[in-house]
Chain A
Amino acid sequence: MSLFNVFDIAGSAMTAQSQRLNVVASNLSNADSATSSTGQPYRARQVVFSTAQLNPHGVSGVRVAGVIDDPSPMKQVYEPKHPLANAEGYVTMPNVNVVEEMVNMISASRSYQTNVDMMNTAKTLLLKTLSIGQ
């Protein structure tokens, strides 16, 4: 029953989007973490999506290829009274762009909703298929 593949596709996309949402949550909550267990300030992380072939007929789902460290430069904040300030009075703060992360969050949640809708449609179609001839 090939319509069942829609569940796999939507499921893979939902897993990927929820991982993206997790990373956004981590970035937003650590937007002000000037230090961490390694002694370095927090670095923003981003997920990378890639296409996952489900079968040889062009039907494809999504998978998270990896979580990368955001390569953008760290923020320098002038705060001489901060215990982590350097000789010039600057503190290195995480490179989290709060606006970008909020947009990412909305995008991820909308994509998640779309995939739930898709799954519901497939479910309705399958249930109707089961009642052929009744």
Chain B
Amino acid sequence: MTSKLDGVLNFHQTALNLRSYRQQLLAGNIANSDTPNFKARDIDFSGALQGALSARSANTVLARTSARHLGSGNENPGGAQVLYRTPHQPSMDGNTVDMDLERTQFADNAIHYEANLTFISSQIKTMLAAIQG
């Protein structure tokens, strides 16, 4: 039964983790809008979500044989590949942050995060209704 409860919430948990990671990347882009030679970065969300979901179902655990190996922290859920953005209007100082794009993506990501929270809340309510009758 517990694993079923886990399974119900698994998808949204993974999605929330990825959303919060993407929020950090976009925040970094906006913060570095005046840094020379900074290259804006982002993840391919749907691909990363699929990767994270399949990695979770396969129950991947990173074996660490040295203290200097990277662990599988949830800062980068499911090993999402961080890509570089292709600039539409590159600037003279080598900075590829497009402020309009980054801000819309930041707002978009925030709304999706909230939507995920709403879904998770309603799922919890459904489960509670099923338990309490």
* One of B35-43, B49-57, B59-67 at the interface: B35-43
Residues 39-60 of chain A, each 1 if its beta carbon lies under 8 Å from chain B, else 0: 0000000001111001111111
A6 contacts the other chain (CB 8 A): yes
A7 (CB) vs chain B CBs: closest residue:
B27
For A118, give its contact among B36, B82, B106 (CB under 8 Å). Answer: B106
> Most A CB atoms within 10 A — which of B30, B70, B114?
B30
Within 8 A of B (CB), among A1-37: 2-3, 5-6, 9-10, 12-13, 17, 20
Q: B110: which A residues are within 8 A, CB to CB?
A: 121, 124-125
Q: B75: which A residues are within 8 A, CB to CB?
A: 2, 5, 55, 57, 59
Contact indicator B23/A57 (Cβ below 8 Å): no
Q: A125: which B residues are within 8 A, CB to CB?
A: 20, 23, 110, 113-114
* B-side interface size class: 35 or more
B33 contacts the other chain (CB 8 A): yes
Contact indicator A58/B32 (Cβ below 8 Å): no
B76 contacts the other chain (CB 8 A): yes
Whether A57 contacts B31 in the complex (CB less than 8 A), given A49-B36, A125-B113, A133-B121, comes out as: no
A107 contacts the other chain (CB 8 A): yes
Q: B99: which A residues are within 8 A, CB to CB?
A: 114
Whether A132 contacts B24 in the complex (CB less than 8 A), given A55-B75, A59-B75, A115-B31, comes out as: no
**C-alpha gap A50/B36 in the complex (Å):** 7
Contact indicator A13/B32 (Cβ below 8 Å): yes
Q: A6: which B residues are within 8 A, CB to CB?
A: 23-24, 27
B91 contacts the other chain (CB 8 A): no
Given contacts A6-B24, A49-B36, A133-B121, 18 further A-B contacts (CB under 8 A): A6-B23, A9-B24, A9-B27, A49-B34, A49-B35, A57-B75, A58-B25, A58-B41, A59-B28, A61-B32, A107-B34, A114-B103, A122-B27, A125-B113, A128-B117, A129-B16, A132-B121, A133-B125
Show 29 residue pairs from A and B whose CB-CB distance is below 8 angstroms, ordered by the A residue. Answer: A3-B23, A6-B27, A9-B27, A10-B31, A13-B30, A13-B31, A13-B32, A49-B35, A51-B35, A56-B70, A57-B73, A57-B76, A57-B82, A60-B32, A62-B32, A111-B33, A111-B34, A114-B30, A114-B33, A114-B99, A114-B103, A118-B27, A121-B110, A124-B110, A125-B113, A129-B16, A131-B121, A132-B124, A133-B125
